[in-house]
Amino acid sequence: MAMRFSEDFLRQVRDKNDIESTIAPYVRLRRSGRLLQGLCPFHGEKTPSFFVYTESQSYHCFGCGTGGDVITFIKNIQNLSFYDAVKLLADRAGLRMPDNNYDDGMDKLRRRVLSANREAARFYFECLKNEKGKEGLEYLYARGLSPATVGRFGLGFAPNEWTSLKTHLNAKGFRDDELLQADLVKKSQRGTYYDTFRNRVMFPIIDLNGDVIGFGGRVMDDSKPKYYNTKDTVVYKKGSKIFALNFAKNNSEKKLILCEGYMDVISMHQYGFVNTVAGLGTALTDSQANLLSRYAEEIYLCYDADGAGQTAANRAIGILSRVNVKIRVIHLAGGKDPDEILKKNGPDYMRRLLSDALNDTEFRLSEAKSGLDLSVNNDRLNYVNAAVKVLASLPNPVEREVYISAVASEAGVGKESLTQQVEHERRRNRRKDEKAQLDRIIRETTEKQRTAFYPDGVTPGRKKAEELLLSSLFRNPDFCRQIEDMVRSEDFASALNGRIFSEIMERSGTEYPADLHTFAQFFSDEEMGHVSALTNPGIVLANTPEECLSCIRKMKEDAGAEPADVGKLNDADYMEAFRNIK
C-alpha cells in the first residue's frame, strides 16, 4: 500500500516552488497576455504550443498533450519518480521531508536498482585494478587512456566468470530479482541467475543526478555484439539519455560535441574536449535532441568518416533541426573516428577541424554536390534541384539570401531565377507543413487523450459535455451541491472522467477543493495531461449552474442515443472548446 504525502506538505512544496521560475531554466518563456508561452521541452516543435499558467501554477502543451503542476514538470523533465521529484523541490525550498514511511513499490525498486548499479560499478572498478581485470586494463592503456581518465569515468572490468558479480551483490544484501530488474543478471531456462556482463570492459552510464543508471560493456575479443548496453529498466530508458552529459553539461560556451561511441567521448575528454558526449547505442532520438538543446546552443556533430557515419550525421541533422540549436558538422579528415584522429594528429589538429566545421546548410549543400561534375550541364541541373530543397528549408531570410548567392555563382545560374525557384518550393512546403502540423496536433492531442480515455462509439457531444462539466466544477466548486443528485460517476462514458468527478465531489466544501494538484500524486502522466486540459484557465465557460445542467442533460441524451451514431465522427466541435485560448 502506497503511503501518501499529506496534502499540507504538497501545498508547501508547491507554494515554495513557483512554476514560472522552475520551468524557466528548461524553456525560454515569452509572455503573451496573462500566459507564458514557449517551445515544449517534451516534444520537438518549432512553433510554441507549451503554455504556463501562473494563476493556476500549471502548464499544458497543446502539441503533445502533457501537462500538470510544478511537481509533474520536474518529475517528467528530470525523469524522476513522484517521490524524488517532491524531494528535489522540497530540498530546493529548504523544506524537511516528512518522516513517514513513504513506500511506493516503484520508488523502492528504483532506489534498489540504483544502489545495485552503484555497487556493481564499484565492483567492476575494483576488478579492473586486480588480477582478474589485467587484460581489460591493458586494453584501455593500449587505447591510450591514462589512469586519471580511467578513474574519472569510473571504467571497470567484468571478470570472465558466470556469477562473480551476483555473488558479490548477494553478499551485500541484493536479491536476485532486484539484480534481474537492473539487468545486472540474466535468468537461465533452468531458473538460475548469471552475470549479464562477462569478460567485458565496463563503461558506467551516469545520469545528471550522478546516479549510475546502466552500463555499456565492450567485448575483449572479436565476438558480437561488440558492445552490450543495459536494456531498458526502471531507471534507464534507451534513447532518452546521453553519455557523459553529466561532465559536459557545465561547459560555459554552451557548445556540445556529439560523437558516436564511448571511446570517442573518453578520448576527446582526455585531450581536453570536455564538452563531448555521445548517444547510447541508438540513432539520435527526439528526446535526446531535446535534452541536448537544454545544455547547448550549438552542437558539433563528430560522426565517423565512413558512409554509415555520414548517414547517421544526416539523420541527426534532421532530428536536431526540430529543436532550437545551431548545428555544425565536423569533417573528419585524416582518420576514421575522433579517437584515431586525436592519436595521429593531436588536439590542435582537432581544434582546427572544429573551427572548420561546416554548418548544417554547408554540409547539406556539399552532400548535394558530392559525386557531381559542375562543368557538365546535366550535373549542374541536378545540383541546383537538390540545392533548392536545402535552400527552401532555411527559415532565416538573410541566411537564405547568402546561400542563394553562393549556389547561384557556384552553379553559374542567375540569382533571380534561383530565388524564384526557392520561393516556389517554400510555398509548397508551407502548405505541406501546415497540413502536417494540424494533422499532428489533432492526431496526437485529441486522439491520444480521447481514444485512451473513452470507450468506442461515444458521441463527440457527450465527450464535450463531460469535459465542460468537469471544467466548470473545477472552477466553481460551489456548484457541486446543486448537481450532486443529478449525476453520478457511473454516468460518465470515460472511467477517468468518472474518477475525476468523484474526487471533485468528495473534496467540494473541504479546506482544499479539487484542482489540478489534487491529482498529481495518483494519476499517470497521460491522465495528468487530460486533467490539465480540463483545468486549463483558457477554457471559455459560462460559469453558471445552468451550464452544468445542460451538460448533464446532453450526457444523458447522448448516452441514450448511443451507439446509434457510431463511426468516424467530426472532431471540429470537440476541438473548439480547447482552441479558445488567449
Residues engaged in binding Zn ion (CB under 5 A): 40, 42-43, 61, 63-64
Range 226-230, long-range pairs (CB < 8 A, 24+ positions): 227/261, 227/262, 227/281, 228/196, 228/197, 228/200, 229/205, 229/280, 229/281, 230/182, 230/183, 230/196, 230/205
CB 41 to Zn ion: min, Å: 8
Instruction: Compute the distance between CA of residue 552 and CA of residue 546 in angstroms, rounded to an integer.
Output: 10
For residue 527 the three cell numbers come to: 491522465
Work out how close the CB of 581 gets to Zn ion at its nearest, in angstroms, rounded to a whole number: 14
Q: Which three cell numbers stand for residue 111?
A: 532506489
Q: How far is the CB of 145 from Zn ion (least distance, A)?
A: 41
Q: Which CB, 57 or 445, lies closer to Zn ion?
A: 445
Least distance from C-beta 103 to Zn ion, angstroms? Answer: 32
Question: Which of residues 43 and 166 has its CB atom nearest to Zn ion in the complex?
Answer: 43
The least distance separating Zn ion from the CB of residue 449, rounded to whole angstroms, comes to 13
Minimal distance, residue 532 CB to Zn ion, in Å:
12
Distance CA 357, CA 354 (A): 5
Amino acid at 43: H
Round to whole Å and give the CA distance between 204 and 71: 29
Of 572, 539, 559, 571, nearest to 473 by C-alpha is: 539
C-alpha cell at 477: 466548486
Distance CA 520, CA 82 (A): 8
- CB nearer to Zn ion: give 59 or 523: 59
Which letter does DSSP use for residue 3 in this model? P
Nearer to Zn ion by Cβ, of 64 and 284: the residue is 64
DSSP string covering 183-239: TSEEE-TTS-EEES--SEEEEEEE-TTS-EEEEEEEESSS-S-SEEE----SS--TT
As measured in angstroms, the least distance from the Cβ of 45 to Zn ion is 7
Least spacing, CB of residue 43 vs Zn ion, in Å: 4
* CB nearer to Zn ion: pick between 233 and 536: 536
Nearer to Zn ion, 63 or 68 (CB): 63
Q: Which is nearer to Zn ion, 73 or 215 (CB)?
A: 73
- Angle in degrees, CA 471, 472, 475, rounded to 5: 90
* Residue number, 64 or 470, with CB nearest to Zn ion: 64
